[in-house]
Amino acid sequence: MKNTIFKGVGTALVTPFTETGAVDYEAFEKLLDYQLAGGVDAFIVCATTGEAPTLEDDEHIEAIKFVVDFTKGRIPVIAGTGSNNTDHAVMMSKRAEKAGADALLCVTPYYNKCTQGGLVASYTKIADSTGLPMLVYNVPSRTGVNIKPDTYQKLGEHPRIVGIKEANGDISSVVETMSKCSDTLDLYSGNDDQIIPLMCMGGVGVISVLSNILPKETKEMTTKFFEGDVKGAAQMQMHYKALIDALFCEVNPIPAKAALSAMGIIKNCVRLPLTPMESANYEKLVALMRKEGLAV
C-alpha cells in the first residue's frame, strides 16, 4: 500500500540569500507566507532548486528546521538530502529527520554516473537509514544518469521508497514506468511544462519551480485536473508555457530568483558558480510576468 506524502503542488523552494551570501530568513518567511496563502500542498526545502550543493551541512539543516518550525505541520516538509556520496546522503537524511522533516527527496548520484544496480544499492541504503518516506528524483539532464523503469520497479519494493519526481522528459518512459509501478510509487512531475501530461499517466501532482511565483495558479491547475476538468487544466498548462520556458532559459534557480526579486519577495542573490540572470533574458522574463500581473 502506497504512503502518499501529498497530492497536488509541492513547491521546490528557492533558498533566499542576502547580499553577503547568508541565508536570508526574513525573505524566507515572506516566501513561505506567500506559498501558504497560495494553497500549496507541500514544501520541498534545500533540494537542487534550493542550491543545496552550495549550502554547508549545518546551514542546510538549519534551513530545513526553519521551514519545519514555520510550517507547524500545516503541510508536509520534504527535505532534499541527496548526494553523489551515499554516506553523506545517509548522514544528511538522519539529520533532516531529527530536524523534523516529514519526508526526503533524494536526487540520483551526479557525476559518478553509477549503474542501475548502483542506484538500487544507494537508494536502499538511504531509505534504510531513517523512518521517513522517500521520493527519488530523476533529472538526467543535470546528473548524467537516468533511472530506468525496471529500476523503479525494484525501488518500489522498499516500504519507504514511495514516489518519483520525474524530470527525464521522456513520456514513453513514464508510461512504461507507471505500467510497472503504479501500485507502489506515486508519480510527481519534475518539469513544469509536463504537469498535466504526467498527471494523465497517473501522476498525483508536481514538484514545481513555477509555484514559487504562481502558487495559487499552479495549485488551481492540479485541482482542475483532480476535479475532472482536464480540458481546463490543459488550457492552463498551455497558457503558462511561455512563462515556464522563461523560468528555465538559464539554469534553475537563476530565473526563479530573479522573478521573486522582481516581485519584492527575495533579493536577487545566488551563490557561485551561479550568477544573476543575464539582462536580455531578465527583460523577457519580466515582460511575461507583467502580463500575469506579477511585476510592474
Q: Which are the catalytic amino acids? A: 137, 165
Q: What are the backbone dihedrals phi and psi of residue 166, each rounded to the nearest 5 degrees, phi first?
A: -100, 120
Number of C-alpha atoms within 13 angstroms, CB side, residue 51? 25
Cβ neighbour number for residue 282 with a 10 Å cutoff: 21
Q: 84-114: buried (b, 16+ CB within 10 Å) or exposed (e) per residue?
A: bebeebbebbebbbebebbbbbbbbbbeeeb
Provide the grid cell at 201. 499517466
Backbone angles phi and psi of 158, in degrees to 5: -80, 130
Report whether 96 contacts 107 (CB < 8 A): no
Peptide bond preceding 140 in cis form (omega within 30 of 0): no
The helix, strand and coil proportions of the chain, stated in percent and rounded to the nearest 5, come to: 50, 15, 40
What values do phi and psi take at 8, rounded to 5? 110, -120
